[in-house]
Copies of this chain bind each other. A is one copy, B any other.
């Protein structure tokens, strides 16, 4: 693998549904670029997907290969990027169990990311232990890959702080640099809103355009997109801020100058939502048609997907077992390896 950076990148996605345009602009595009300059691994996070799907594991299982197909369809190259499955790496759960003794329950409860996710999922007092502990599992993921650079949105920064706290604690216990601290690689792209304009995209909320969306689904999603509710007639001046169609044009139209002209025209009046939506739809159809076709081709050969996933996982397994051995040796528990 030819790389120009010493940094090791780990990213991943929960395998709870097909990936969508939010993932595409927020991380997938960046990963396709990073794979040429960095050593990069992508974790298909089925175990993490279970933390809020504990009673419906089949939902997670059913999405694993779809996520791998999404990666390949957007251009992630398994010869450049290690694509691996979380549940195929037992060292991750072993590291988690060690780390869980170094983190207090109240520290987990104070984690802002976990707090807001517990609130948004309306878990209340019924939060599963696995969910509360998922920052510990993420620390296991990151450290098991010796990752130094983790692409995240700024809402995820508390997770990396938690990881580095664990790293420092383990190194203090072992009196040795057994684990490596990581840095965030902050995503530049603002988060893509849901098509309804409220919150972030979510397949389960029906407000996301997936990478495998059919032409009809794309058309329908764009047609129903939230625009400016006060822009009643074509001639009325319209608002661009918070207008999802323009947010998407910013994100997906290849020609920034054209988007600026459209914005000016819309603000002045005389540009209808039908027209802006048609332009957006054309962009999205053009972007997604080849992705959808590749995705379908990959999904038609599940054995090949399994082979790719298996090879990546076996490669990641080697590294994660090495890190586990380092931690066990540092803890004085390495006499007992089997």
Which residues of A approach B to under 8 Å, CB–CB? 46-47, 50-58, 60-62, 64, 85, 87-88, 90-91, 93-94, 96-98, 100-106, 108, 125-133, 136-137, 169, 173, 306, 309-310, 313-314, 317, 328, 331-333, 335-338
Contact = CB atoms under 8 A, between A and B. Distances in A.
A97 B96 contact: yes
A329 B24 CA distance: 32
Nearest to A136: B129
Contacts of A136: 129
Given A133-B133, A314-B338, A338-B317, A57 B90 contact: no
**How many copies of this kind of chain does the complex include?**
2
A97 B47 contact: yes
B126 A62 contact: no
Contact of A94 (B64, B90, B335): B90
Contact of A333 (B87, B126, B335): B87
A51 to B, nearest CB: 5
A305 to B, nearest CB: 11
Given A126-B104, A129-B132, A173-B55, A333 B97 contact: no
A51 B99 CA distance: 10
A59 B337 CA distance: 17
Nearest to A90: B90
A264 B10 CA distance: 74
A108 B93 contact: no
Given A57-B331, A61-B333, A338-B310, A100 B88 contact: no
A85 to B, nearest CB: 5
Contact of A309 (B52, B60, B336): B336
A128 B106 contact: no
Contacts of A314: 338
A173 B101 contact: no
Contact of A103 (B91, B128, B331): B128
Given A46-B336, A61-B335, A103-B128, 10 more contacts: A57-B173, A57-B333, A87-B94, A90-B93, A93-B96, A101-B129, A104-B126, A104-B127, A314-B338, A317-B338
Given A101-B130, A106-B125, A129-B105, A87 B57 contact: no
B100 A61 contact: no
Nearest to A98: B50
Contact of A335 (B125, B306, B332): B306
Given A133-B133, A136-B129, A336-B64, A93 B97 contact: yes
A337 B306 CA distance: 10
Contacts of A173: 55-57
Contact of A105 (B55, B58, B96, B132): B132
